[in-house]
């Protein structure tokens, strides 16, 4: 059976328009902002231009103003958007909003979709996903969830502390993970709640200083203190939060891979241009064997990461859990993107170290990806565990 990895013509055309938009509109803004998250007005302006260019919200269904791309279609477009750190923000496909839109479209009620998904998909407000907690709470092990929600007349009261909540500053609402049954360490008993930003029980404690700075709205520590929400704030079913989270987590890992592949390609382009122009020791830098090896290794890492990402996206589009494929793709891509940017940095020498180009910024931005959405070590543990389970099942047949 023939295998065709080329995107559908309409997806390819959208990807091409996205590439042109990012290079002509977004990259100049990125260079001006030095890759740091810009002001709210810049976000609004970029998203307005993306709408004019017809490339806005490629992942959202047509019903909510998007292009309705499946995961494989998103892979082509998101990679082009990721060529700039601000490209995903411009197209409204940046984390955490993109993952929240995906989940809301899958499990929210019609009323919740109109109240939260529609304005989020249009860029009229932003959101955050409040699951991670300070140790010993939920992190790489979500079952350690300690934030609690208890029933009160007409709704629920949420109490707990969250930290590293990306995009929380200025978000219009949070999707808060809280334990409604069991104890920390139990595999079930979590529920998701939609919490409006003006709820007096949800308070910003501080901005957490981090290596990366391009993710809009920062990384925030939040306190839920006597945070009361109505029954209609429950997203999905009570006690089923961990199951519903899988709707978001696998695809979100892959969209991270797609976006960071764009930055890897950008770093490679910068390095290749430098290698083609820079002359030393009587020849071009690109004619020296060690530089050629780094350029070749970059191409290999980019192609392999893209292939693994597409494999996982295909499985997701087929309705499979794709847990093994997404873990493999996320782990490899996070480390491959780091290698690509690091080699590009090395090829550019002192220019890479300087602030004259953005490679130093890219290096700081991509390093945390080996921790975000599950550290490489956690994914490797899960990959090995699945392999051993499969071995045991086959041995017992």
- CA distance linking residue 202 with residue 190, whole number of Å: 19
**Placement of tokens 């940017």 in the chain:** 341
Picking from 1-15, 98-112, 155-169, 312-326, which range would have the lowest pLDDT averaged per residue?
A: 1-15
Looking at residue 60, what is its pLDDT? 97
Domain with CATH 2.40.110.10 in the chain: 127-235
Q: Look at residues 59, 36, 2 and name the one whose alpha carbon lies nearest to residue 254.
A: 59
User: For 233-246, what is each residue's pLDDT tens digit?
Assistant: 999 999 999 999 88
Q: What is the mean pLDDT of the chain?
A: 96
Looking at residue 1, what is its pLDDT? 47
Domain with CATH 1.10.540.10 in the chain: 9-121
Fold of 242-395: Butyryl-CoA Dehydrogenase, subunit A; domain 3 (1.20.140)
User: For 247-275, what is each residue's pLDDT tens digit?
Assistant: 988 999 999 999 999 999 999 999 999 99
pLDDT mean over 196-209: 97
Residue 163's H or E segment, with its range, is strand 155-166
Looking at residue 5, what is its pLDDT? 76
Q: Categorize the per-residue pLDDT at 3 as very low, low, confident or very high, splitting at 50, 70 and 90.
A: low
User: For 8-56, what is each residue's pLDDT tens digit?
Assistant: 999 999 999 999 999 999 999 999 998 888 899 999 999 999 999 999 9
% of the chain exceeding 70 in pLDDT: 99
> Residue 179: which residues within 8 A CB-CB, separation 6 or more?
145, 146, 147, 148, 149, 189, 190, 191
pLDDT mean over 153-174: 97
> CATH for 9-121?
1.10.540.10
At residue 128, φ and ψ (nearest 5 deg) are: -145, 165
Q: Where are the alpha helices (DSSP H) in 22-68?
A: 27-33, 40-53
* CATH class belonging to 127-235: mainly beta
User: For 373-394, what is each residue's pLDDT tens digit?
Assistant: 999 999 999 999 999 999 999 9
Domain with CATH 1.20.140.10 in the chain: 242-395
Residue 2 confidence (pLDDT) above 70 = no
97, 100, 104, 107 alpha-carbon torsion, rounded to 10°: 170
Q: Which two tokens stand for residue 280?
A: 């030393």
- Beta strands in 24-105, from DSSP E residues, in sequence order: none
User: For 287-328, what is each residue's pLDDT tens digit?
Assistant: 999 999 999 999 999 999 999 999 999 999 999 989 999 999
């Amino acid at each position: 059976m023939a295998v065709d990895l080329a995107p559908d013509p309409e997806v390819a055309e959208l990807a091409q328009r996205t590439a042109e938009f990012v290079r002509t509109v977004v990259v100049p803004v990125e260079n001006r902002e030095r890759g740091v998250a810009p002001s709210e007005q810049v976000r609004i302006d970029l998203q307005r231009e993306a709408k004019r260019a017809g490339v806005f919200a490629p992942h959202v269904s047509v019903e909510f103003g998007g292009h309705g791309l499946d995961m494989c279609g998103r892979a082509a477009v998101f990679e082009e958007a990721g060529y700039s750190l601000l490209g995903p923000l411009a197209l409204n496909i940046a984390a955490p909003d993109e993952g929240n839109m995906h989940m809301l479209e899958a499990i929210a009620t019609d009323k919740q979709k109109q109240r939260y998904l529609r304005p989020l998909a249009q860029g009229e407000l932003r959101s955050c996903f409040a699951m991670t907690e300070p140790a010993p709470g939920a992190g790489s092990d979500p079952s350690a969830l300690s934030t609690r929600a208890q029933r009160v007349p007409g709704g629920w009261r949420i109490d707990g502390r969250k930290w590293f909540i990306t995009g929380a500053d200025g978000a219009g609402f949070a999707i808060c993970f809280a334990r409604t049954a069991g104890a920390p360490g139990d595999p079930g008993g979590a529920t998701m709640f939609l919490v409006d930003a003006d709820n007096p029980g949800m308070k910003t404690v501080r901005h957490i200083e981090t290596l990366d700075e391009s993710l809009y709205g920062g990384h925030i520590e939040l306190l839920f203190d006597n945070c009361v929400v109505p029954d209609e704030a429950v997203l999905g079913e009570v006690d089923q939060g961990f199951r519903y989270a899988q709707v978001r987590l696998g695809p979100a890992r892959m969209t991270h891979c797609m976006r960071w592949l764009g930055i890897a390609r950008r770093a490679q382009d910068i390095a290749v241009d430098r290698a083609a122009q820079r002359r030393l020791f009587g020849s071009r830098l690109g004619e020296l064997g060690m530089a050629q090896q780094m350029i070749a290794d970059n191409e290999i890492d980019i192609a392999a990461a893209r292939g693994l990402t597409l494999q996982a996206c295909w499985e997701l589009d087929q309705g499979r859990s794709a847990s093994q494929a997404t873990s493999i793709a996320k782990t490899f891509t996070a480390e491959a993107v780091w290698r690509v940017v690091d080699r590009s940095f090395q090829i550019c020498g002192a220019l890479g170290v300087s602030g004259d180009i953005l490679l130093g910024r890219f290096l700081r931005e991509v390093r945390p990806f080996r921790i975000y959405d599950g550290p490489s070590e956690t994914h490797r543990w899960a990959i090995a565990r699945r392999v051993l389970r499969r071995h045991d099942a086959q041995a017992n047949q």
